[in-house]
Amino acid sequence: MSAEKFEQKIREKVEGAQMQPRPELWAAIEGQIAPKSSGRYLFWWWTLGVFVAGLAVAGIYIYMGIPQKTEQPSLTQYQALDQEIPSSISDTIRSEETRQTLGAYIPHATPTSSHHTSQMISGQPSQTMLPLAPSSLSSIRMAPISLAAPLDPALPPKLTFVHLEPMLFDGKKLPQAATLLDHEIASAPPVADPTHWRHTLATWSLYVQGGIGYGRKHFRDFTGAGAFTPSALSLSDIAYSDTYDFNLVPIPSENTDTIQVNRVAYPRYHQHAQIGIGRQYKRWGVRVGIGYRRSEWGRIETGFFPSNFVPIGEVDISELALNQQQTVTFRQVQLDLPVAVDYYLKRGASSLVLTAGWAGSYNLNRTKHVTFDVGPERTQDPLLTFNQWHSFVTGGIRYEHQLSPDLSLFLQPSFDHNLSAAYNNTSTAATEQNRMRINLDFGVKMRLW
Amino acid sequence: MNRPYHALIRGCVKQDPRAQRELYELFAPKMLVVCYRYASNAAEAEDILQEGFIKIYQSIKKYKDKGSFEGWIRRIIINTAIDVLRKERHVHHQLELNEAIAEDYQEDVLDQLEAAYVLDVIQGLPDGYRMVFNLYAIEGFSHAEIGKKLKISESTSRSQYTRARSMLKRKLVDSRMFQHSYRDVS
């Protein structure tokens, strides 16, 4: 056998042969090629930067959301206060503000016009200052709250009001089913300065997101993710305060009062699952997906009443339980259809991803649940009709740090802005929905295969 | 241009961990065989592979996109193997071994042996013989190039190759006999 032939045979024999290295070998290589200490510091600097940016955005947003005291008294009917319905149940940070003008009745420009007001007084706890004309007292008498006494002579003629709030009456639930009071108002006095109700709420919670991803060279980011936030994982519930400036026209000036109401808001749980598919080309990526959210969010309210408020009628002020509690819970189940475009900025094991997109959201179910200390009541909020569909634009910055090929940490401050209202306001109340939502997500991503 | 590996190379240049892993998964099985041929045992082969891939990631930005990308990787692995073995053992001092002529080697011996067996037999050669044999017979370097790489003379490379080939033939014949007897027993 010639030397050349032998060499050729040897080559044929060994060429193309493959041996699978032990898995530990890659771990050893990876450990040596990963960015060293500078990368570690970089991670913390970037994390700090993203946090600061998120806080700045939240601060600006909250600051700009403070209502201006320039509203005109334009409402012709009573103003329902209890319009505080979240535009969307947030999974992380949410700040919401509702502004209302508590304007009482039509101003003197139309002193003889007839106006109409209605209120559901049972089955739906309200926090309504309801001015009533004397002519409607008969209707009032039909209500569970008896107002047999004559009008307070200090009040302007043909007008009175009553605070229809069941919880104020020592937790006694109204015995009747929902009763609608219709009142014809013959005339009305001049309207004083408008009053405001400002409500700011911030809740935040922590959740861990697990996901799976599968990627090929030109077809990356097939991901699925799930999150579950039981209340036990909530880091903090932030109490908020409402400031009510009661300045109803019929109330003499000495009855004007500003009170503070302390409430506690708390997310009960948040369940979130989504799958998505995406494609990345160079620095650009596009993702579509489908998501499912189920949230429960609630608040505890204590009773309130101006310290110098004297109700009309036979209600004994001593019976007012100023610390009665009611729990209002919102449940929401929605289906999201997000579309997003990403732009990747990579540096070693770290990535900064700028993301913007749009999402359509379908409300599968949304309810308001009210619980008193005398028993639960469940109601679909009669004053609001939730839209089945709404959509929002999204934007955010995601920071990812890859600890290993299969494990990454991520941090993503983002915002959602509702393009369409989450609910229809079917009442006569002036309610401004907050359409902005701020999120801060952080967690761990794992690649399972 | 190595179009199939273009995105992969760019990813590795940017130190994208996913691209780095993909590159490893793509070439490590083939390169481990190369390492195995140069090393004297499996552990040493893995050491060479590890060191070689670290060099690949560190120098991939210098890759000029000329010639085969796999060939470029292979060259780094081979050079790493030479460095490692030279560091650990004084190769040129071990080249003076007795020549063993395989008189009864026949052409069909290689056909009857499996690749893994042949690799084991190559690995069983003394360090210096194994190095010269691999570089000349399999990688295709000339004796002049081998001399430069191993810092030995061209004639030494030539004579060592002749001895290595003879020893390999001898070992292959023995291996075949072992295989046969092993099969008979089992």
Backbone angles phi, psi at B24, to 5 degrees: -65, -45
Model confidence, pTM: 0.37
Residue A261 half-sphere exposure toward CB, CA atoms < 13 A? 26
| A97 Ramachandran zone, left/alpha/beta (phi>0; psi -120 to 50) | beta
Strand boundaries in A217-256, DSSP class E: 219-230, 239-246
Mean pLDDT value across residues B36-60: 88
What are the residue ranges of helices labelled H in B39-124? 42-59, 69-88, 109-112, 115-123
**Looking at CA atoms only, how far is residue A19 from chain B in angstroms?**
5
Q: Determine the Cα–Cα distance for residues B167 and B173; give it in Å rounded to an integer.
A: 10
Nearest to B115 among A17, A26, A215 (CB): A17
Least Cα distance to A196 among A255, A256, A244, A262 occurs for A244
**Res. A382: pLDDT tops 50:** no
Q: What is the pLDDT of residue A361?
A: 83
Q: Give the percent of chain A with pLDDT over 70.
A: 24
Contact A84, A330 (CB under 8 A): no
How far away is chain A from the Cα of B141, in angstroms, using its nearest Cα?
13
Share of chain A above pLDDT 90, in %: 0
Token pair of A2, please? Answer: 């010639």
Question: Could you report the predicted ipTM of this complex, rounded to two decimals?
Answer: 0.79
Could you give the angle at the alpha carbon of A59 between the alpha carbons of A238 and A72, nearest 5°? 90
Least CA distance to A344: which residue of chain B? Answer: B16
Over the stretch B136-170, which tens digit does the pLDDT of each residue have?
888 888 889 888 888 888 888 888 888 888 888 88
Distance of alpha carbon A50 from alpha carbon A426, whole angstroms: 40
> Using the beta-carbon criterion (under 8 Å), do B46 and A22 form an inter-chain contact?
yes
Output the six-digit token pair for A127: 């926090």
Mean pLDDT of chain B: 79
Going from the C-alpha of A352 to that of each of A50, A57, A121, A166, the distances in angstroms are 10, 18, 53, 53
Q: Does B17 touch chain A (CB under 8 A)?
A: yes
pLDDT (tens digit per residue) in A171-210? 333 333 223 332 333 333 333 333 333 333 343 444 444 4
Cβ of A9 under 8 Å from any chain B Cβ?
yes
Q: Is A277 helix (H, G, I), strand (E, B) or coil?
A: strand
CB atoms within 10 A of CB A164: 25
Chain B 80-139, residues with CB within 8 Å of chain A CB atoms:
105-107, 110-111, 113, 115-116, 118-119, 122, 136-138
Tokens of residue A172, six digits: 């006694």
Residues in chain A: 449
Structure token pair of residue A292: 């499912």
Alpha-helical segments (H) within A86-142? 137-142
Q: Given A19, A29, A34, which is nearest B50 (Cβ)?
A: A29
For position B73, what pLDDT does the model report? 92
Closest residue in chain B to residue A402, using alpha carbons only: B17
Does residue A87 carry a pLDDT above 60? no
Nearest residue on chain B to A408, judged by CA atoms? B17
What distance in Å separates the CA atoms of residue B75 and residue B82, rounded to the nearest whole number? Answer: 11
Residue of B nearest to A345 (CA): B14
Judge whether A124 and A118 are in contact, CB under 8 Å: no
Q: Which of A191, A234, A226, A186 is nearest to A210 (CA)?
A: A226
Which residue is associated with the tokens 């699952």? A273
Question: Whole-angstrom Cα distance, residue B182 to residue B186?
Answer: 6
Of residues A20 and A374, more confidence is placed in: A20
Contact B119 A14 (CB under 8 A): yes
A418 touches A392 (CB < 8 A): yes
| A98 sits in which H/E element | strand A94-102
Residues of A in contact with B46 (CB under 8 A): 21-22, 25
